[in-house]
Structure 1
Amino acid sequence: MGSLHTRCVLLSCTTCVSGTSAQLQTSLVCEGKTLTIECPSGTTIDVEDALYGRDRGPSVNKSFMHPNRNGILNRPVGSIGKLVWVEVSMVTSGCKASTSLSRVRDACQGETSCQISASNRVFGDPCVGTYKFLRVEYKCRSVRRARVCESGNLSLHCPYGQVLNIVGASYGRNAGSEVCPSPSIRQISNCRAASSSHVVSSACNGKNACHVSANNGVFGDPCVGTYKYLEVEYSCN
């Protein structure tokens, strides 16, 4: 499990976010807290790495106090004002839940914002008796849009080394003749195939490139007699 260290420290853990869109960013919260990730409008979350556990000793925050907790904080050994020094035994290496990356990706990948609890209930307990944290490294990827009119074929592709992540898709119509003009436009509301996102995601997610046909045979006909189109929002991760 790794080496065990016992020493006097001031326990601290803060939420920190650094960087801007398209740069690698990091968010971190202590065990028992909820981690929130938000990307700017027009971008989605691409989770690069995640760790629930501990791979470093505690840091210092003068405004932080932590109570004795399940025997993890053994005894206070001194205090100055709000600073409470405690004797701590904890694992600081080899403590990472095997579910870390998969659970965070399930909650956050491709979303504009997400929340996930830093808890043993979500991730399991990789090192019993050690106070843990959840750290997530991610990027905010720009959302791209593509459209093709009914009976056409939509082709999506990403640069070499990146794969498609479908954010959303709609086969139907929610605009007038300014989009895919036709004399057969009878309905521009409540016209979206329920299968839209599932069909496109199944065909494209995780691939460098894909092709989807925009027709009723693939998606079903959400508004009979209306000329439709396929719109897709995606990112390259």
Structure 2
Amino acid sequence: MSFFFAALCRTLSPRKEEDVAEDYLSRDAELKVKSQTALHNSHDSVKLIKFADDTTLIGLISNNDESAYRREVDRLVSWCSGNNLELNAQKTVEMIVDFRKSTVPPPPPSVMDSPITSVESFRFLGTTITQDLKWEPTISSLIKKAQQRMYFLRQLRKAKLPAQMLVQFYTAIIESILTSSITVWFAGATVRDKQRLQRIVRSAEEVIGRSLPSLQDLVDSAFYGRANSLTCAGGKSPAEVANTACSHADALNVFRHRCNGKKTCELNSPVFEQDPCSDTFKYMETSYSCVPATHRVVCEHSMAYLNCAAGKVIKVLGADFGRRDHTTCAFRRQKSEVEKIDCTNDAPFVAEKCDGKNTCELRASQAVVGDSCSNTSLYLEYAYICTDA
């Protein structure tokens, strides 16, 4: 199985640009440069990402069949030609991500009769993506930038600026660099790289003389209440947004309970149970990281299997038993059996039985994790990773 990344940059065709300008000057017409038709990916295995003048195609190649990916490249070239745009072949690159042991790289596609250069890494919106999907180049780049800006923080301290102003400078100029695209790379960063990042934070603490939030705290944070008068304030009276010192004390644990180990997660205000300020219109805010884990859903009474490769052991990230939606494990179930979706309990038994083992199996049943909702068809949902033994 392979992933293909093609970064395709677009520029306005010089000939068409001259024609538009000439038309504007000769007929005093309104100058407009626009695409006549929208461009969307036409195959499920190919993802098209457009940002300003850069376009990226991501293709998932299965069974060595790259026909859909090739068609999408050709389609993009044709679309640009038909919309007064010209592909810059010199800035177009392809990167192949393939973790199979023995492979023969396919020939790169061509753009305007020029073969695309194959690269081992490329920058996408400020983040360096490599063939081995390691984040060390990105992290090293961020650390270098942050270290350069530490000089200015020290100069401000020498100028005897108040600590609060130093904290504001750190947050805006240094922390913003360390957290650039952090939800993309932090979960996949090595322990060593996380320690390198954290040393920048500790150095800033020594300069400022105050404690600062760690990067892990910034990634895993949650808030329910109101901290300012602007967020989610549309159509609300001044009295409803006046209290800006309102927060739920256990918001992070609520988010963790509902979302850890899930591929997707939805919350609404009733899950917080206690209202920290009843006369105030509140909002939820969270930051999180996605971990490349194995995620499984097992219907009630079925067997759950967890396994790792040789030399690895199971580490359960999260598990619960109940029902959160109307569709999961709903086949041949009565409507009444899938109607109630606000019932779920933690399933610590999964971690208790499987953590530290190479393989593990258990049955998803009420006898194991308790009855979280009577007369309802339930399911077990869990996620785990494999770590070194």
TM-score range normalised by the length of the shorter chain: 0.3 to 0.5
Q: Identify which of structures 1 and 2 has the higher relative contact order when contacts are C-alpha pairs closer than 8 Å and 6+ apart.
A: 1
Q: TM-score, normalised by structure 2?
A: 0.30
Q: TM-score, normalised by structure 1?
A: 0.45
Structure having the higher strand fraction is 1
Q: Whose radius of gyration is greater, 1 or 2?
A: 2
Structure having the higher helix fraction is 2
